[in-house]
Amino acid sequence: MTLRRSKPLSEQVALITGGGTGIGRAFAAVLAEAGARAVVIASRREEVLKKTADELNSQTGAERVHPFAFDIRDLGETETLVRHVAKRFGTIDVLVNNSGLAIPETVEAITEEGWDKVLETNLRGPMWLVRAALPYMLREDFGDVDNISSQAGKNGYADVPSYCASKFGLLGYAESLRDHARKTGANIRVFNFCPGLVDVDHTGGDAEPRAGAIHVRNMARTLLYALALDREVVLEDINIYSR
C-alpha cells in the first residue's frame, strides 16, 4: 500500500473563517502554539481580527497569525481571500469553515431575509470556500477541510429551523466532498465537528463554561488531534458536548 503524503504542521498553512473570536480564535491559538507556518483568520470585523492576531502573535513570540477581512456572503470577496492566502503562502493546507450564525424564527414565522442570511452564511459560504481552495489542495496532493456543524445538524429545533437546515446541509455537502475525495484518490480529509453548546463568552484559560456547555479549548484540542492522525485514518462526524 502506498502511503498518502503527509506534511508537518510547521509547514502547513491554515485558513479559519470566523477566526477572530470564540471557537475560531481558539482554533487559531492552538494551531499557532503548535507551530503552524501560517494561520489566516478571516471575518467581517477587521479591528477584531487585528486585535486577535496581535494578541496571539505576542503569546507565541512569532508572527504566525494573519488577519484578513471579508464577507462570506460575497462571492468576489471570498474568492479574493483564497487567492490572497495561496499567493502569499503558496497553498492552503487546512480550511476551517467556522463562520456561522443563527436567527431565531419559528417555522411559521420564517422570513425570506432571515432564511437567506443563515443559509448563505452557514452553507453557501463554505461551498464557495471549498470550491476555491480545492485546486490548491489537489495541486499539492494534501489538504484537510474542517467543517463546524452542530448537534443542530443532526436534530431539529423548533426555534431555529433555518440554522438546523443549514447545518444538516453542511453535513450533506461534506459527505459529498468526502466521497469525491475517496473516488478520485485525492489526499484530502474532511472532518465535521458537531458540538452541542459551546461557551464562546467565557474563553479564558481559567474560565469555567456555563452549565451545559463546553469550553472552547476542547474544540481546539480536538482539532489538533484530528489533524495529527495518520492520513490513512478516517474520522468523520465528531460529536462533542457537555455531560
Is 163 in the active site? yes
Which residue, chain included where needed, has cell 451545559?
212
Give me the amino acid identity at 164.
C
Q: Spot the catalytic one: 163, 173, 225, 241.
A: 163
Q: Which three cell numbers stand for residue 231?
A: 492520513
* DSSP label at residue 2: P
Cβ-in-10-Å burial (0-12, 13-18, 19+) of 114 comes to: middle
Backbone φ, ψ for residue 200 (5° rounding) = -100, 5
Q: Where are the beta strands (DSSP E) in 36-132?
A: 38-43, 65-69, 94-97
214 vs 237: CA distance, rounded Å: 18
Strand locations in 74-211, DSSP E? 94-97, 143-148, 188-195, 198-199
Residue showing cell 481558539: 26
Q: Mind telling me the catalytic residues?
A: 163
